[in-house]
Amino acid sequence: MPILGIIASAISGNLNSYESIATTTVGSGGTSSITFSSIPATYTHLQVRMLARDSRANTATNLYIQFNGDTAANYADHVLYGNSTSAVAGADVSQTSAVAARVAGNNAAASSFGAGVLDILDYANTNKYKTLRSLSGFDDNSVGQSWFISGLWMSTSAVTSITITPVTSPILQYSSFALYGIKGA
């Protein structure tokens, strides 16, 4: 089979593996959090896709994630990020949330939003802790940032709700979040 045929076959298989569960776009005035609730346990993994901007008076800012309303120190994350001049790594343990993504802050270029894709692996498996991985970033007039994040929720509970919050409220108007279920392996 020619290489284009192999690629087309792989892409079509992957497209059929994703099912939209819910989407939300932030309206006028912004919002203090995004919550996806009543998540069915019928998928293998979950994916959150986001395009977001925060009101924090910085060029860039973090969005954080919590599961099932758990606000205890049951989260950990590892972060690797870089910009046009340097790369940095860091880690946090015993946190009340995990870093979900890095997005544009209110001091970024006008109309600049950060983009991110966050996977929550084996979210319904009640025999292990939940892991997440995220790739996010934004461009601010050619001085952008790229972030790779791995995280952990130290709970064996199935994920039934997801809450994403900013460092500083609100998440600004026109930010968009979509939750997908991933079928299969």
- CATH fold, domain 20-182, is Jelly Rolls (2.60.120)
pLDDT, tens digit (0-9, with 9 covering 90-100), for 114-135: 999 999 999 999 999 999 999 9
Please tell me the least confidently modeled range out of 18-27, 142-151, 169-178: 142-151
Residue 107 confidence (pLDDT): 86
DSSP 53-108: BB-SSSSEEEEEEEETT--SS-EEEEEEEE-SS-EEEEEEEEESSEEEEEEE-TTS
How far apart, in Å, are the Cα atoms of 17 and each of 5, 38, 117, 179? 19, 20, 16, 13
pLDDT, tens digit (0-9, with 9 covering 90-100), for 20-76: 999 999 999 999 999 999 999 999 999 999 999 999 888 888 999 999 999 999 999
